[in-house]
Chains A and B, each alone.
Chain A
Amino acid sequence: MLGYGCTLTVGIGVPIPILSEEILSYTIVTDAEIFGAIVDYSDAYPNMKPDILGEVSYAQLKSGKIKLKGKEVPTASLSSYPRAVEIANVLKEWILSGRFLLTELVAPLPGVESGITFKPLKERPIE
């Protein structure tokens, strides 16, 4: 893709230990229950406007087409699902063969309570 600089395509295999019913309930969420926003890349996104055109579920996106403002719009992915499955299977093999073990946590990932916020990128011309 042009205009975005270098592209780094990274796949990460993350094991989720099922230690409680609560964790289990989060892992059995289906594609139909995961939602993403439809964002306008022509105006809203480059001008950092928060408006969205709607929400769609991953099930709808994976079907190959969605309906937006009465029109049918084709959809496809931008990241590789087959490669993600490959990585997941490598991790699975490591776990099954005992080469990847569950350990005590090193440090918790910061949540909302940490007070860490994201700053938007303000593009400035090179002077």
Chain B
Amino acid sequence: MVVSRRIVLHFPKRIVERPIVCRLVRDYELEFNILKALVTPEEEGLLVLELSGEQEEYDKGIRYLTETGVRIQSLSQNFIRNEERCTHCGACVTICPSGAFELDPATRLVDFHDEKCVACGLCIKACPPRAMEVHF
């Protein structure tokens, strides 16, 4: 069964110079789509990927990453909505390029579907009460 997950990878300084992601393709036949990349030599590297492949190979690939020293987080843990601050004003709805915000036509409440989030960050600045938070 093919699985697809959006994950955030943190590469510690000591392994930032090594080719790691290409092994996911070569050894585990996984496909990746880069959503965000922050790579500076001599610093921790950040990669936000949409990684997909057969469930078994995907799990093996994740294990390889972890064993190599890469810290992995699910993207949905990084972009969160502070429910206490959100006033359901709707300013985020049309800003989001991946349609992660859905406006209920009856109640006019805004739903945040974090599985659609591509970590672009546009909603962070657009939100008037600053309810959208990014924690990398």
Contacts and interface: CB of A to CB of B under 8 A. Distances in A.
Interface of A: 1-2, 7, 9, 62, 64, 74-83
Nearest to B125: A2
B90 A77 contact: yes
A64 B89 CA distance: 14
Contact of A1 (B88, B105, B107, B126): B126
Given A9-B128, A9-B129, A78 B108 contact: no
Provide the main secondary structure of the chain B interface.
Answer: loop
Interface residues of B, number: 16
Interface string B98-126: 00000101011100000000000000011
Contacts of A81: 88, 90, 108
Contact of A78 (B90, B105, B107, B109): B90
Nearest to B104: A82
A78 B125 contact: no
B91 interface: yes
A78 B91 CA distance: 5
Nearest to B129: A9
Contact of A64 (B91, B105, B128): B105
